[in-house]
Amino acid sequence: LLMAYDPARRLARLQVQLERAVVNARMIYELLDLQPQQRERADAKDLVVTDAKIELENVSFRYGNGDEILKGVNLMAEGGKTTALVGPSGAGKSTIISLLPRFYDPAEGRILIDGQDISHVTKASLRHHLAYVSQQPYLFEGSIRDNIRYGRPEATDTEVEEAAKLAYAHDFILAQPQGYDTPVGENGVTLSGGQRQRLSIARALVRNAPILLLDEATSALDNESEAAVQKALETAMRGRTVVVVAHRLSTIVKADKIVVMNEGRVAEEGSHEALAQRPDGLYARLNNLQKPI
């Protein structure tokens, strides 16, 4: 307990949180960057998505010259299903998510979407098929409408409102002083954590992408917001391939497949029932702590 008050540790923790926020903003910005990017092969073709099945084959990765963070990861996320990544902090879960839009490339191994190596396709076509929801949502300077439309700049007003309805955001938006034109961000109205999350879900929904990447926050909302956000997320997840870094037990239990990561490797995988029954399994041990993983 004393350790928690150690100022050096607190600073280190803050630093990590700041880096996370920057990465989250980058994920949102860059997913929308339709310009051809660096490291694209001259013969790159457009990604063709049919089932939206994702496979990692023997993927190893390190940041710069640092330690190896992923060590030969094999993982399959079935099309239209939810795959939850769980495991101790630092296991490499978020790193896996950031490899999918190619913010980084594996040092070894490959990542396939419907059998196509993502390093062989154009980045614009890859990112076109991905949507990302961080549960530490990022709002830009601008109106509520702008913030949702950021998910797909050519979306019509009707499409923006449809997405907001699906994200259970329409009613609270209409209750704002200028409805969809209400400014948010630093100089705008203050929205609750749950409202911000629903806006970020609406932003992902307006993209209508077949693959949804979710990074679940550890901090809890009040019960009412929590319920609204859960409903919005369930709508967003329906019919899509979802890869979620999961901390909430409810998300984990409902996932079609749980992949337990530990120290850069897949420790075990399976359904909640199957994993919880393995007496010596990491999942069973984490589960017994009865805390968010």
Stretch of 86-94, 148-156, 176-184, 277-285 lying at the interface with ligand ATP (CB under 6 A)? 86-94
For residues 204 and 148, what is the distance between their CA atoms, to the nearest angstrom?
8
Residue 291 token pair: 């805390």
CB of 64 or CB of 177, closer to ligand ATP = 64
**Spatial CA neighbour of 237 closest among 197, 201, 269, 187:** 201
Stretch of 29-37, 83-91, 135-143, 155-163 lying at the interface with ligand ATP (CB under 6 A)? 83-91
Helix (H, G, I), strand (E, B) or coil at 52: coil
Within 8 A by CB and 6+ apart from 289, the residues are none
Size of the site for ligand ATP (CB under 6 A): 11
Q: Contacting ligand ATP (CB under 6 A), which of 82, 83, 94, 241? A: 94
Q: Contacting ligand ATP (CB under 6 A), which of 72, 79, 80, 90? A: 90
Minimum distance, C-beta of residue 57 to ligand ATP, in the bound complex (Å): 19
Using the rule CB under 6 A, is 89 a contact of ligand ATP?
yes
| Footprint (CB under 6 A) of ligand ATP, residues 51-70 | 63, 66, 69
**Spatial CA neighbour of 206 closest among 246, 247, 159:** 159
Cβ-based neighbour number of residue 212 at 10 Å: 25
Taking CB under 6 A as the rule, which mask of x and - marks residues 244-273 in contact with ligand ATP? Answer: -x----------------------------
Q: Are 194 and 213 in contact (CB under 8 A)?
A: no
Minimum distance, C-beta of residue 92 to ligand ATP, in the bound complex (Å): 4
CB of 91 or CB of 163, closer to ligand ATP = 91
DSSP string, 195-223: HHHHHHHHHHHHHT-SEEEEE--SSPPPH
Q: Which residues form the interface with ligand ATP (CB under 6 A)?
A: 63, 66, 69, 89-95, 245
